[in-house]
Amino acid sequence: MRRLFACMLLAWLLLAGAVLSHAEIKTCYLCGQEITGKYWQHQGPGGLRLFCDRCYRSSPKCSACEIPCSRDNLTKVGKEQLCPDCMAQARFCNLCGNRISGRFFTSGETGEVYCENCYRTYPRCRACDRPMRRSSLTADGVCLSCEAKLPKCKSCGKSIVGTYFSNKYNGDYCPDCIRSRPECYACGAPVSDVYWTLPDNRCLCDTCKKQSIFREDQAREIMNEVVKLVAERLGLVVERPWQLRLDKLNTEGRASALAARQGLKMASPISGNEMGIYIEREDRREIVLLYGLPISMIYETAAHELAHAWQAENCPPNQSQEIREGFAQWVAAQVLKLKGYSITLEKLQDRTDSPYGTGYQRMAKIESRQGKAGVIQYVCTAIR
CA dist 375 and 384 (Å) reads 14
CA dist 3 and 175 (Å) reads 106
* Residue where a domain stops, chosen among 180, 210, 240: 210
Judge if 200 and 250 occupy the same domain.
Answer: no
125 found inside a domain: no
CA dist 272 and 282 (Å) reads 26
Judge if 225 and 176 occupy the same domain.
Answer: no
Judge if 199 and 267 occupy the same domain.
Answer: no
146 found inside a domain: no
159 found inside a domain: no
Judge if 218 and 206 occupy the same domain.
Answer: no
151 found inside a domain: no
Judge if 250 and 199 occupy the same domain.
Answer: no
CB 162 within 8 A of CB 146: no
Judge if 225 and 314 occupy the same domain.
Answer: yes
Residue type, 280: E
Judge if 286 and 377 occupy the same domain.
Answer: yes
Sequential pLDDT tens for the chain (384 residues) = 555 555 554 445 444 443 434 456 888 888 888 888 888 888 877 778 898 888 888 889 888 888 888 888 888 887 888 888 888 888 888 898 888 888 888 887 788 899 999 999 999 998 888 998 998 898 888 998 888 889 999 999 988 888 888 888 888 999 999 999 999 999 999 999 999 999 999 999 999 999 999 999 999 999 999 999 999 999 999 999 999 999 999 999 999 999 999 988 999 999 998 999 999 988 789 999 999 999 999 999 999 999 999 999 999 999 999 999 999 999 999 999 999 999 999 999 999 999 999 999 999 999 999 999 999 999 999 998
* Residue where a domain stops, chosen among 158, 190, 210: 210
Judge if 176 and 236 occupy the same domain.
Answer: no
The CA distances from residue 308 to 125, 255, 312, in Å, are 56, 22, 6
120 found inside a domain: no
Judge if 347 and 205 occupy the same domain.
Answer: no
Judge if 310 and 282 occupy the same domain.
Answer: yes
Judge if 312 and 351 occupy the same domain.
Answer: yes
Q: Are strands 284-290 and 276-281 parallel, antiparallel or unpaired?
A: antiparallel
Q: How many domains does the chain have?
A: 2
Structural domain of 190 = 172-210
255 found inside a domain: yes
Q: What is the pTM of this model?
A: 0.71
* Residue where a domain stops, chosen among 157, 182, 210: 210
Residue 4: per-residue pLDDT = 53
Residue 21: per-residue pLDDT = 42
Judge if 226 and 319 occupy the same domain.
Answer: yes
119 found inside a domain: no
Instruction: Give CA torsion, residues 257, 260, 266, 270, to 10 deg.
Output: 40
321 found inside a domain: yes
CA angle 90, 95, 97 (to 5 degrees): 40
Which CATH number do you get for residue 264? Answer: 1.10.390.10
Phi first, then psi: give them for residue 104, nearest 5 degrees.
-145, 165
